[in-house]
Amino acid sequence: MSTGPTPPPTTPGEAPAVRRVTVVGVGRMGSAIASAVSRATDLAVGEVVGCEPDADVATRVADELGIRVETDPSAAVAGAEVVVVAVKPHLVSDVLTAIADHLDDDAVVVSVAAGVTTTAMEAALAPGTRAVRVMPNTPMLVGQAMSVLTGGTHAEAHDVDRVAALLAEAGDVRILPEEQFDAVTGVSGSGPAYVFALAEAMVAGAEAVGLAHDDAVVLVEQTIAGAGALLAASPQSAAELREMVSSPGGTTLAGLARLDDHGLQAAVVDAIEAATARSRELGKD
């Protein structure tokens, strides 16, 4: 965990232009980040470069995203002001060690891996390297991410703001202290899977009461999408919106009562606590 100053929760400020951003690892999340950075409107980016060791994958991603994709990490990170490492958590340390000697002195290194602390990042990089940790989530693939950021010991506020501005094209961003990141992982990092599990259950319920599978899927998908949009747009809380649709003696209350019988709220709280605990364990590995 970072030993630097703990910033208060905030939204990102203004940040200057970036001449080059490199994304190491252009799988689904890395490609989504590269695409978002390429579209960034609040921060002019001179060039976006990808890095992928598999030559065939590198060619495909270059064609799909319209960016240069290198197979050699040293060539990919040379000259980059921001280097985003978008690989599996167990690979982060090796990747950081491999690129450490090829980074520009002013480069900001970003990891999007769950459980990898800024202290772990800094241990694999040259002394004084500025590290920023990001916890995104899979809705980044459709430009609807919730990305939470924090800076390491050597990162300045403007470094974090710069990374936040780059990610803003892919959804919402929030800057929080690193000690809250395990909780962030349990809520927004893992949260999409809880919603997908709810969708699965709702489809099963729809089929159980006689709807065809295709109709059930459409009804559930739009219901969840619409409810999420209403929750985000409304000044009312989730509890207030729930009460608004729950007429006394009506169908919604009948359904909610059965959910209460099965302990829905307790189950969700337990799920978030379990995911948070697992994030803490990953940070100790």
CA 117 to chain centre: 15
Q: What per-residue confidence (pLDDT) applies to 19?
A: 85
Where helices occur in the chain by DSSP H, the ranges are 28-39, 55-65, 73-77, 89-99, 118-124, 157-167, 181-184, 191-208, 213-233, 238-244, 251-261, 264-284
What predicted TM-score, i.e. pTM, was given to this entire model? 0.86
pLDDT in tens, the chain (285 residues): 333 444 445 555 455 577 899 999 999 999 999 998 888 766 667 889 999 999 999 999 999 999 999 999 999 999 999 999 999 999 999 999 999 999 999 999 999 998 899 999 999 999 999 999 999 999 999 999 999 999 999 999 999 999 999 999 899 999 999 999 999 999 999 999 999 999 999 999 999 999 999 999 999 999 999 999 999 999 999 999 999 999 999 999 999 999 999 999 999 999 999 999 998 888 776
Q: What is the pLDDT of residue 7?
A: 45
> What is the predicted pLDDT for the residue at 282?
80
CATH of 191-284, one of 1.10.3730.10, 3.40.50.1010, 3.10.129.10, 2.70.98.60: 1.10.3730.10
pLDDT of the residue at 274: 97
The whole-angstrom separation of Cα 266 and Cα 184 is: 19
pLDDT at 263: 97
CB-neighbour burial class of residue 157 (10 A; exposed 0-12, middle 13-18, buried 19+):
middle
> How confident is the model at residue 145, as a pLDDT?
95
* CA 167/CA 23 separation, integer angstroms: 12
**CATH classification number, 18-180, choose in 3.40.50.720, 3.30.1780.10, 3.40.190.10, 3.40.720.10:** 3.40.50.720
In the chain, residues under CATH classification 1.10.3730.10 are: 191-284
Domain with CATH 3.40.50.720 in the chain: 18-180
